[in-house]
Structure 1
Amino acid sequence: MVNYTSLGGVAVLLLITLATIGFLLVARRRVDALYLAVGFAGGWLCSNALKIWTARPRPDVVTHLVPVGDASFPSGHAMVSAATYLTLATVAVRFLRSPAQKAYVFLVAVALICTIGISRIYLGVHFPTDVLFGWCAGSVWSFACWLTFRRFLPQFV
């Protein structure tokens, strides 16, 4: 579970995001690169702002199996991984034609997001509501970015 949780950590998400942005820039897909940057950065900023605003303490029912230092609500791993992996999936499907391939990309993203969130509860560092809200908020952020880019940047469609 520690390994699964690390897939939703900021270091891993930032590395994946920067590598993908680099690829998109080399491929001259500047709008997609901007979209991915906004999806990741906005999700991370919203997560941190909500943590500061709510300041909910971590659960103390069981011993934490990984070190934590900030507030519990929302789960940053759940929220930022949802925002990032869903945004990555929407970028990836723009390169694909087959509906089956597109569905597969989204299924992998959702499975990864769910695994990361469940690992946070298993490790004793979040209440289930922290993770559920993180999933919802990260998904809403990713969808809002997608809608905004579709609406205001015709080349994004």
Structure 2
Amino acid sequence: MKLKFQFTLAFMLSVLSLVCFSGMAILINGSKIAAFDHSIIMFIQGFESLGLTTIMKCFTFIGSTPSVAVISLFSLFFLYKVLKHRTELILFIAIIVGSPILNKLLKLIFHRARPDFHRLIEINGYSFPSGHAMSAFAVYGVLSFLIWRHIPARWGRTLLMVISITMIVAIGISRIYLGVHYPSDVIGGYFASGCWLAIAIWFYQRYQEKKFEQRRSTQSKK
């Protein structure tokens, strides 16, 4: 029953994320979200200081491809050696590898230029959706999903969610603060990654459900 609920929830979240991403894509193509983007950028960059810039560069570095690769390798080791995960590793690898591929494809489709009015770092490439936002959501989202059931205490689960949400939000905000992404790029990245994450979990839960039914069928025949 619990597995069926998770199966249904993953499907509903994937559809919801897809709808939200599609809505965001329509808005940016029609330039209707420019005022929203500008006001949020002005608000966030209004806190600019030397110390905060250093912190935001650190979060951006954590969300970069080299850092994500290192975090993923340590996570794979932890999942395999400590938690004894096997099939879960396939889910983890699929999500981590699939996220940047999906991001590249989406950027080629939308061809949105990056903001150019106040950049604190220089970077090339298209803007929508944010690759850092997608990677952060994918990494910390799948880790939360896989580690959650191994934490018995409620405070431990709460801490896991707080850390994951903090990292996802902080990496996204760092891209806006540094002037290399519009807020809609970051939000769109969350929705795109959320859709990919939920779809991957949906397939994983479907596989788990079939395994459970096969075991139950085998036991009933004995």
Give your verdict on TM over 0.5. Answer: yes
- Where in structure 1 are there 5+ consecutive unaligned residues? none
Residue of structure 2 aligned with 1:46, choices 87, 91, 102:
102
Number of corresponding residues: 155
Q: Does the CA contact (< 8 Å) of 1:58 and 1:126 recur in 2? A: yes
In the alignment, what sits opposite 1:74? 129
**How far apart, in 1, do the equivalents of 2:200 and 2:154 lie?**
22
Q: Distance in 1 between matches of 2:96 and 2:171?
A: 16
Find the aligned partners of 2:197 and 2:158 in 1 and give their Cα distance: 17
Q: Which has the larger radius of gyration?
A: 2
Residue from 157, 182, 192 that aligns with 1:137 = 192
1:60-94: CA deviations, max 9, x gaps?
A: 111x2223121101010011111111111111213
| In structure 1, C-alpha distance between the alignment counterparts of 2:67 and 2:149, rounded to whole Å | 23
**Could you say which residue in structure 2 is the equivalent of 1:59?**
115
Residue in 2 that maps onto 1:104: 159
Partners of 1:58 and 1:32 in 2: CA distance: 36
Farther off after superposition, 114-123 or 100-109: 100-109
Q: What's the Cα RMSD here?
A: 1.7
Instruction: Please list the CA deviations of residues 104-142 of structure 1 after superposition, one character each: whole Å capped at 9, or x if unmatched.
Output: 212211111000000100000011100111112112222
Unaligned runs of 5+ in 2: 1-55, 213-222
Matched, 1:153 2:208: yes
| Structure showing greater relative contact order (alpha-carbon pairs closer than 8 Å, 6 or more residues apart) | 2
